[in-house]
Structure 1
């Protein structure tokens, strides 16, 4: 990836623009900073605060932002990257060059790819994940399913993102039962599965529930940053007293990526932004599943999850969305070994234990 600029203190963003590039570039550099008539601002603000157009061509513009502009944490970084400009038609973020780590001030993933491998005792093979389904099942039914999956060698057993605090499986009851049965299954089978409850709970309860999940024995957390907020996920990742791996889920994020002329490139949002917000694993729909992501878009996410960025650990791409056992070789051809294979409902078509065991065998022999 070519560099957008040479100043390590500045945040550089390339925006693809449909329309009058010069006019849109001028609007972006002002709207993303002072949101005020530039000619009325003091000279020093015009020179040092307003975004700087670094280059432009018929396809778009590169604008850079000074450290004082993006200072203040992840929320402000995202606000500068895609704040008011998100209301413009025909503008898309296609490349980001971060400032040096000491200027950015974000820790990123606590564990990253290498850390997750160490936690799970899997130094080289792909990791395996599945979701507890379907909504409407009781906590005991979900816990029994989790036990089977843990014994079969599935590494990460997460709540489906739709599991919140429903009457047939309340949050606390489900987390207590699933952590208990996964722990017992690990002891019986000599496995190291981790259960990740969903934090799809009211905002004022997120941190209390996260710590309660840890006390109950949860091995990680599933966070929905499109609903709870990217900075909430960042705060969970940065919490040293919590210290749990985080898997992000893309619920409500589709509108940012699916329009090719608007929003953020798939790799930027689901790869880079997830990493900035502390996700160790990033769930997204793989090509050929229930959703419309292409191979090229999935490759963008893969590459952004792994790209070397000073001060940020990698994240593991976690493609899902209608994947099957038969597609494992194809998925590994695209993502390589540094991937979390997320296969959910398809494991239940037939014998769950046999299918989960076959999945584990497939990645060990690939």
Structure 2
């Protein structure tokens, strides 16, 4: 028996909303198990009536039915067990229990006493609007592709997007440091191309390279890209790690907008019974890790996200998280100009359109297609406001 442990803790707690699959008795038992598994991972009966039991154990705050097969358990945790850092926070929220089926992290309820330990997005939605001089309208993003083009060809494409008024021109997520477009050759060429277009148009479009390099060079590559004059960085937190993205976002010497890409994250939301809700993974975690923009597959595209899931992401990008700023949702993946009215109807004006391959189609050139996209979106926004 372990007893008489006294701890200097604040009593502050944060809560996680779990959806648990099963009948009532099974789900209640699983919820009680989570309280122990996600904290002490030790036989609870061997803990005496002391501060470990009073403070360190997870605490089942409420338990209610969601539907015929799922139950909602709200479990609170002591702030101190997170070490107030992101890796341990993610471990507490869903570490060992992620190995068991039938448990989904549905929502994070984070008090100011918790979120004040994180810088979150440097710019957020409002900061990006100011950066792009777009106080009301949606923003626009496109991707340089396909993989296999040379650095010069990608730079020429970046120039066209910038001439057409695309705010953020990013590498496609698969373009990293390959022999046909090496990172340190491609980046300065694309920066120069976008700067040339900006001088011609008077706009302030930004080139955003993908920073998807080995762990031992990712920070050096991010800082080098900043020195070349890039306008933002795209990170793949499912591959490089959420805390790697947070470190780059927090770095005052870099101080650039961060685009969070969903690569490798899909399996964490593909089940309605396990993993994470879309709001937590693509909204709340992205914000805690410093992303200013969360990229995800739009409904109706070539991926399987539903309209409900996409609107759930919007909730996660905009819900109250204390000092953590709201960020731009950026739906994409097989979108085209015909998708615009439905997207405006669903998302409103607080959206960053991500349209890639469709801007190369048709009888017009890329510049004209970009301009048509902007005109169509602004027209739809005006109609929505009436």
> Is 1:362 aligned to 2:381, yes or no?
no
Q: 1:101 to 1:120 in 2, by over 3 A?
A: farther
How do 1:11-50 and structure 2 match up within 5 A?
Answer: 11-19=14-22, 20-42=26-48, 43-50=50-57
Q: 1:85 to 1:25 in 2, by over 3 A?
A: same
Cα separation, 2, equivalents of 1:9 and 1:348: 53
Report the CA distance between 1:37 and its aligned residue: 1.1
How do 1:258-337 and structure 2 match up within 5 A?
Answer: 258-337=270-349
Question: What is the alpha-carbon root mean square deviation over aligned residues?
Answer: 1.4
> Is 1:235 aligned to 2:247, yes or no?
yes
Deviations 1:217-264 (A, max 9, x none): 100000000000000111111111110000000000001101111011
Deviates more, 1:347-356 or 1:231-240: 347-356
Structure 1, unmatched stretches of 5+, are 1-6
SS at match of 1:203: coil
- Which residue of structure 2 aligns with residue 114 of structure 1? 126
Structure 2, unmatched stretches of 5+, are 1-9, 66-70, 381-386
- Which residue of structure 1 aligns with residue 13 of structure 2? 10
- Which residue of structure 2 aligns with residue 3 of structure 1? none
Q: 1:327 to 1:83 in 2, by over 3 A?
A: same
Deviations 1:256-293 (A, max 9, x none): 10111101100111011101111000000000001111
Deviations 1:137-175 (A, max 9, x none): 000000000001101111100000001111100111111
Does structure 2 conserve the Cα–Cα contact (< 8 Å) formed by 1:101 and 1:311?
A: no
How do 1:176-191 and structure 2 match up within 5 A?
Answer: 176-191=188-203
Cα separation, 1, equivalents of 2:239 and 2:316: 22
Cα separation, 1, equivalents of 2:162 and 2:351: 19
SS at match of 2:216: helix
Given the two structures, how large is their TM-score scaled by the length of structure 1? 0.96
Given the two structures, how large is their TM-score scaled by the length of structure 2? 0.91
Report the CA distance between 1:88 and its aligned residue: 1.0
- Which residue of structure 2 aligns with residue 4 of structure 1? none
Deviates more, 1:183-192 or 1:149-158: 183-192
Cα separation, 2, equivalents of 1:10 and 1:160: 40
Cα separation, 2, equivalents of 1:145 and 1:85: 46
Does structure 2 conserve the Cα–Cα contact (< 8 Å) formed by 1:9 and 1:100?
A: no
How do 1:200-219 and structure 2 match up within 5 A?
Answer: 200-219=212-231
Report the CA distance between 1:104 and its aligned residue: 4.9
Cα separation, 2, equivalents of 1:353 and 1:207: 34
- Which residue of structure 1 aligns with residue 238 of structure 2? 226
- Of 356, 366, 371 in structure 2, the residue corresponding to residue 352 of structure 1 is 366
- Which residue of structure 1 aligns with residue 3 of structure 2? none
Larger radius of gyration: 2
Report the CA distance between 1:363 and its aligned residue: 2.5
Cα separation, 2, equivalents of 1:258 and 1:55: 26
SS at match of 1:300: helix
Q: How many correspondences in the alignment?
A: 360
Report the CA distance between 1:23 and its aligned residue: 1.6
Report the CA distance between 1:365 and its aligned residue: 2.6
